Structure 1
Amino acid sequence: MFIKRFLYISALCATATAGMAQTKQPLVWPKVKAETRPWTRWWWMGSAVDQKNIGMLLKKYQQAGFGGVEVTPIYGAVGFENRYVDFLSPKWMEMLKYTSSTAAKLGMGMDMNTGTGWPFGGPQIKTAEAATKLIVQTYKLNPGEIVKEAIRVNDPKQQGIAVLQALVAYDEKGNATDLMSKVDAAGNLNMQPVTSKTEVYAAFAGKTLQKVKRAAPGGEGFTLDHLSKPATDVYLARFANAYKAGKPSVRAYFNDSYEVYGASWSPTMFEEFKKDHGYDLRLHIKELDSKEESETVGRVKSDYRETMSNMLLHNFTQNWTNWAHGLKSITKNQSHGSPGNLLDLYGTVDIPEIETFGSSKFAIPGIRRDSADIRNVDPNPIMLKFAPSAAHVNGKPLVSSETFTWLTEHFKTSYSQCKPEVEQLFLAGVNHVFYHGTTYSPKDVKFPGWLFYASMNMVPDNSLWSHAAGLNGYITRVQSVLQAGKADNEVLMYWPVYDAWSHPKGLEMTLAIHDIDDWLMPTKFYKNALELQKNGYSIDFASDLALSKSAGSKAGVKTSASALYKTLVVPECTLMPNETLQSILKLAQQGATVIFQKLPEGVPGLADLEARRVKQKQILAALKFTDAGSGVKQAIVGFGKVLLSGDLDDALNYASIPAEKLVESGLKFIRRDVNGSKYYYLVNHTAKAIDTRIPLNGKFASVTIMDPQNGAYGLAASSSAQNKTMARVQLQAGEAMILLAGLQAKAALPKWKYLEKATGEIELKNPWNLQFIQGGPVIPTAKKLDKLKSWTDLGDNDAVNFSGTGVYTSTFTVPAKKSGEYVLDLGQVDESARVWINGKEVGILWSIPFKTRVGSFLKTGENTIKVEVDNLMANRIRYMDQNKMEWRKYHEINFVNINYKPFDASNWTPMPSGLIGSVKIVKY
């Protein structure tokens, strides 16, 4: 299923610096394949595509280091309607097949959204298959009264659509009586006068009437009922019809985040519910509709939410995945926002996908974070772990991400801002990045080309594009490591979803990224996961279903996909099904160590409640705990044990499961296992440089330092004693590093050159010649600069308005080149730089700290330097808006700013551009 064209990572490392020569050296970096490189969501506006532009653009993407595209058709640009191609039409299929074959020739892959815009829906979805909602109407009766009016839905929009599914009378004591058999076809209720105050509840299966958001031509229509298998089958049948003339070669079919608003029902809900829980939900419509925050209401709603989860899992997610497998393809799914168990939904598809929305705050000095240019939605590191956890637990090799959505305001996103954000994804377990994204734009559309309103504009018209290989090369190197071997996390943590489902507020519960303040962050689960990760433990999350399929042994807990964890941690939770409790204790019986922070207090749901409560108490009473010291209690269970401690660190220490103490240095990490050797991906998101010896858990024969910023590598200074290995690392704020802790010695590798004491510096004080070579709206005249300052401060309006590339050249003198190392420090760069010294390319410096080793490029006496700088698109867009130049004209939402208001850059302050301040070379 995956593209088999492999290239060596050394092709990406041609600019490796610091004398870490890679020629004639053993290959250290893993091989590169299409999936190792970053991919991008490729928006086809109006599907107004043609073969000439598809081929031209794919070649540009490949040359910039992209590994593949994900075709997602959306609404189109005004004035180009004659180019639109209807979704799944013969012409559209021709374009898709051409895209796939052209990408394959370029060593790239192609994914495809199984629809247009989002969520799934279209013209094949008629009212019967459309997203459904529960509509409840009540009739209040006094003694002696009957319901005189016909039982029909009141909402005019639902008349003729909504179907009565239940009619129940509740007397003053709460006794429920089913009245459905007394309703005739016209809705008339044949009933006797009531003898006490009574409420009659009518439950209708209505329709949300939501249509596909941002639909492309040929994709307009109602949103699908994701809880219905027949509706899903109808939806997918349109693709089968379109494929009769030939199946396209699609690696993965994609489904975006669940944004089916108000879809609280499906016509078969009552039947599915009774199958799941054994009682009739029709007799509990009052509780389901209630706004009371009572225990009974919460229990009914928990059961309802569990059934909804099961329906989404089996009728849509598994059904859709089976369909894709039948086409020899795989699925890629964003489960967040779904009304279901996220871990099970993520774990059912082939590539679970998380997303980032908004930007995070990092302590890295110099990183720009203007409050006017960001969304107040920070990507959460624990939320980001749900998709990777499901992948690791269920044996899925790839975890993708929709990356950089609304990272900053349009045209202001720098690669420096992208770097820590994507690193946060890597640290969570993502290893297959998708940019959000790239808009198809034909050659004849002038700057800035066609743009999708939510995109970070990773397009050839972006003034940063000529340096895209810098960011893409970094992502490729990191992903080559994070796709190698298997995840190496020692702690499996139970996610108590029933505590969330049992909340009586609301009806359906969509577990969305933007709502984690409600369903995730207040929980003990969240606080414990955050604390354990901070203390150096590597964690994955497990669902009830995953635990039911796992096995225990003295080695730990092994999932059905053979992922092995040293222990299972059950954080404090209130409600746990007896089946889950028995699955957990079975792991201990088989030999595993299980840690409870607190024993569960009860069971979720309503059916057979007292019997299940009694059973749970019996199960827990069988655990005979003794005091093990250090605040830990222990119960021997079969061949294993159950530990009970309010402090999970104490319990993990007692169980001899060590944390990685390297986090005490301030570094963040994620670990991969390759046949016993370990990759450590390290990131310095602190405000300070780190130069220290860090401990690694395990005894290793050698430690190789691998620099993902440029591809350099060398043997670290390291030593092993007992079961620890100490390795020296040096990272500037904002830098990352990979350690390969190997079981075998790497004697053939060069030693890593550490930067010891700084012995002086050479400030580049000679004048700089600045020539602007590409961009617009007008190429500014050349400048001679005695002092480096922003292009916006040169006294030239053309330079103020300019977005593009400027080239600086100068000379400097090295009095007498000595042994040791020399580091070029460009200082403030807005926004990205490519450097040559003495005619040889040093590399792309695209992120903070804008430093690189240059000793091998220098010579005694006069040296030349050339620095090519790209700035942001912002200043040119500002100029265009100030001059009322029309560049945004799209159907539907047109083009909005980060707060979803009409976009206008005319009042922006010009963004700093170019080299600013001093440039120096530091001697070590």
Structure 2
Amino acid sequence: MKRFFSVLVIAISIANYSFAQTTKTVWPVMEKQMKPWVRWWWMGSAVDEKNLSQNLTTYQKAGIGGVEITPIYGAVGYESRYIDFLSPKWMDMLKFTVNKSNSLGLGVDMNTGTGWPFGGPQIKTESAATKLITQKYTVKEGEKLNEPVKVKEAKQEAAKLQALTAYGPKGEILNLLNQVEANGNLNWSPAKGNWEIYALFAGKTRQMVKRAAPGGEGFTLDHLDKNAVKVYLDRFNAAFGNKSQGIRSFFNDSYEVYGANWTPTFFDEFKKNRGYDLRNYLRELVGDNGNKEIIARVKSDYRQTMNDLLLNNFTKPWTSWAHQYKSLTKNQSHGSPGNLLDLYSAVDIPETETFGSSYFPIPGLRRNKEDVRNVNPDPMMSKFASSAAHTTGKKLVSSETFTWLTEHFKTSFSQCKPEAEQLFLSGVNHIFYHGTTNSPSDAVWPGWLFYASVQMNPTNSLWPHIDGLNNYIARCQSVLQAGKADNELLIYWPVYDVWNQAKGLDIALKVHDVDDWLHPTAFYKLATSLSKNGYSFDFASDHLLAQSTVENGLVKTAASASPYKVIIIPQCEMMDLNTFNKVISMASCGATVIFQELPKDVPGLNDLSVRQSQLKTALGKLLFTDLKDGVRQFKTGKGQILLTNDIQKALTYKSIKREELTDAGLQFIRRAING
């Protein structure tokens, strides 16, 4: 086993490689996926063979490795050139692009849609993104409701009543849905006391595809509905003739489906997966119960169900669909209302993104105030994508790179380079520029442009020098794609602490909101501290731990993934009982598990007292003894469990060495190569 470390000295931007063995090193053979790729906007899909050929040749000569086709809105004044998405002519242009790219040694990815998010003309109202609408009524003793139970929100003619639950003065709960007549009148009155009635409707968000290309306009898809996903993909099947199109990977942009917090089958899925009927907890779902603990538990179960639906009804079926065409999937899971680690893991190439500029302590590096966003690009956010790849043994981790890094034509390569290096340090090894607009030769300078781009276009005055940046990135990525990640620590992400909140409904985990859902957590503070002190790690979900095994004291998360020496459980309030028991079982099988603190409770509502009692019993069996420096130990089977607030002291006790180069301000990433 030969190990090497890619050390990026941020202050002076020098890449240095050191090897554990002094053997002759052969540089990896350069392949197209090692070079930077570009998101390639087809404005109005106004493309033709002459300009496609010319542009692809220009990209190839500049050191670009591939293109990712994303059709968007068209350029004004060129409407006569627009081509409808997936029309026969559009498919001819796609075929030409793939063939020409193959001849040039370029790869081709394709957005499974136009603009973002997924949607289009095939998505009719019944398959469109769905939202929960609730209305509250009060009925007095002996009286009837004096208005029909119909949705009041405007433009919701398609909304369907799915639940009507009445709450009595003594805690009574009645399901009144079958007592609503066709005209909406409720044929019921309370015999005693005043009652509150909650109605839940499945309405529509009415969100349209953003920046849609011609032929791609329409409602946004209901990602939580498996039948709607099938309807969406069937249009591609028809256009493709059920034959492979030579696309390396189908792409899905960040989840920007606003307000889509429901699907018509939600009640059934919730009861099947959470074990109780959500119809009885409509009051808690809208936050009116008054008991914040119960509200938070119900909403945690609701959010977990959202995750299950998105994962099983969209992400996995979409990936299976792509595989039928001998293609991969590349997905930006961030922004989703689910467990990012599991959503990233379900695709072939997890993709993160950077938005805005980062602060680097580089003297003279320009960073204008208008380029500073509400939060800086965060390497820990990017590690959600890279962790998903590393723990499942996937080779590539991609990034939408340089989005809004600066304003148009103001971006220097000196600003790009450290941003790319920061991504490398977070585990990214497959950079996509954001981006390049396909522009015809007769368009007046500076050609057709996309509004959120750093303009990696041939019309950019820096283009004659871009091969320098491209070649540097390609050399770095050729090394970073070799072998596999070699991180030693596996840190559990306590997603239930994120979900267990009484406020709001679905929680979209966006890159723009990490200061809300990530930065305040003990998990984040621990991860940043360990990174700063020279430790390498990946993140783990409950699902990943459930399928992991222990071999010779090491934790195996997948057959093709590098093993981990230690599992770390950060301070957390909520931990699933099955996950806790699995971690204890892994310790008994020989693993080393370090708890920053023991979990205090179990998430969710169903069988709560039973599960709380089981957790208490399990915790009571952990009879710790003192070691030194505040580290406590419980030996079990072939392994051990350590308990300490100072994780680094426990790592020192286990002889897990840190990279001391971080003391000098250097950063690193570990890769392992057989040879």
TM-score (norm 1): 0.70
Distance 1:245 1:546, change over 3 A: closer
Cα distance in 1, alignment partners of residues 651 and 172 from structure 2? 50
| Residue identity in the other structure for 2:155 | K
Greater relative contact order (CA < 8 Å, ≥ 6 in sequence): 2
Equivalence for 1:402: 400
Cα distance in 2, alignment partners of residues 609 and 376 from structure 1? 39
Cα distance in 1, alignment partners of residues 171 and 62 from structure 2? 68
* SS in structure 2 of the partner of residue 158 of structure 1: coil
Is residue 571 of structure 1 aligned with residue 570 of structure 2? yes
Q: Decide which of 164, 168, 172 is 2:165's aligned counterpart.
A: 168
- 1:375/1:406 contact within 8 Å kept: no
Equivalence for 1:241: 238
Is residue 426 of structure 1 aligned with residue 420 of structure 2? no
Equivalence for 1:322: 320
Equivalence for 1:796: none
Equivalence for 2:377: 379
- 2:37/2:68 contact within 8 Å kept: yes
Is residue 270 of structure 1 aligned with residue 262 of structure 2? no
| Residue identity in the other structure for 2:619 | L
Equivalence for 2:57: 59
Give the CA deviation at 1:194: 4.5
Consecutive unaligned residues in structure 1, runs of 5 or more: 1-24, 677-924
- 1:293/1:505 contact within 8 Å kept: no
Give the CA deviation at 1:306: 0.3
Equivalence for 1:717: none
Q: Decide which of 281, 284, 288 is 1:287's aligned counterpart.
A: 284
- 2:245/2:325 contact within 8 Å kept: no
**CA RMSD of the aligned region, Å?**
1.4
Give the CA deviation at 1:412: 0.4
Equivalence for 1:231: 228
Give the CA deviation at 1:589: 1.1
Equivalence for 1:917: none
Alignment of 1:119-518 (within 5 A): 119-159=117-157, 161-244=158-241, 247-290=244-287, 294-518=292-516
Identity, in percent, stands at 61
- 2:139/2:189 contact within 8 Å kept: no
Equivalence for 1:582: 581
| Residue identity in the other structure for 1:526 | Y
- 1:493/1:539 contact within 8 Å kept: yes
Is residue 659 of structure 1 aligned with residue 658 of structure 2? yes
| Residue identity in the other structure for 1:202 | A
Equivalence for 2:6: none
Cα distance in 2, alignment partners of residues 239 and 151 from structure 1? 40
Equivalence for 2:610: 611
Give the CA deviation at 1:187: 1.8
Count matched residues.
652
| Residue identity in the other structure for 1:387 | A
* SS in structure 1 of the partner of residue 669 of structure 2: strand
Cα deviation 1:622-674 (Å, max 9, x = unaligned): 11111111111100111100000011111111111111111112111111111
| Residue identity in the other structure for 1:259 | E
Give the CA deviation at 1:563: 2.9
| Residue identity in the other structure for 1:633 | R
* SS in structure 2 of the partner of residue 40 of structure 1: strand
| Residue identity in the other structure for 1:130 | A
| Residue identity in the other structure for 1:222 | F
Cα deviation 1:532-552 (Å, max 9, x = unaligned): 000000010000000000012
| Residue identity in the other structure for 1:578 | L
Between 392-401 and 552-561, report the one with greater CA deviation: 552-561
| Residue identity in the other structure for 1:64 | A
Cα distance in 1, alignment partners of residues 443 and 316 from structure 2? 42
Give the CA deviation at 1:142: 2.6
Cα distance in 2, alignment partners of residues 469 and 123 from structure 1? 40
* SS in structure 1 of the partner of residue 567 of structure 2: strand
Distance 1:43 1:649, change over 3 A: same
Between 417-426 and 142-151, report the one with greater CA deviation: 142-151
* SS in structure 1 of the partner of residue 272 of structure 2: helix
Equivalence for 1:95: 93
- 1:37/1:472 contact within 8 Å kept: yes
Give the CA deviation at 1:144: 2.7
- 1:374/1:409 contact within 8 Å kept: no
| Residue identity in the other structure for 1:511 | L
Cα deviation 1:481-533 (Å, max 9, x = unaligned): 10000001000000000000001110011111111111111000000000000
Cα distance in 1, alignment partners of residues 490 and 508 from structure 2? 24
Cα distance in 2, alignment partners of residues 194 and 200 from structure 1? 14
| Residue identity in the other structure for 1:145 | E
Cα distance in 2, alignment partners of residues 321 and 598 from structure 1? 38
| Residue identity in the other structure for 1:261 | Y
| Residue identity in the other structure for 1:326 | Q
| Residue identity in the other structure for 2:486 | D
Distance 1:652 1:245, change over 3 A: closer
Equivalence for 1:799: none
* SS in structure 2 of the partner of residue 356 of structure 1: strand
- 1:551/1:559 contact within 8 Å kept: yes
| Residue identity in the other structure for 1:626 | T
| Residue identity in the other structure for 2:597 | K
Equivalence for 1:620: 619
Give the CA deviation at 1:246: 5.1
- 1:141/1:194 contact within 8 Å kept: no
Cα distance in 1, alignment partners of residues 355 and 635 from structure 2? 46
Equivalence for 1:15: none
Between 67-76 and 374-383, report the one with greater CA deviation: 374-383
Equivalence for 1:49: 47
Equivalence for 1:530: 528
Cα distance in 2, alignment partners of residues 105 and 553 from structure 1? 46
Give the CA deviation at 1:29: 1.6
Cα distance in 1, alignment partners of residues 33 and 632 from structure 2? 47
More strand by share: 1
* SS in structure 2 of the partner of residue 614 of structure 1: helix
Cα distance in 2, alignment partners of residues 565 and 200 from structure 1? 53
Give the CA deviation at 1:184: 2.1
- 2:352/2:399 contact within 8 Å kept: yes
| Residue identity in the other structure for 2:616 | K
Equivalence for 2:558: 560
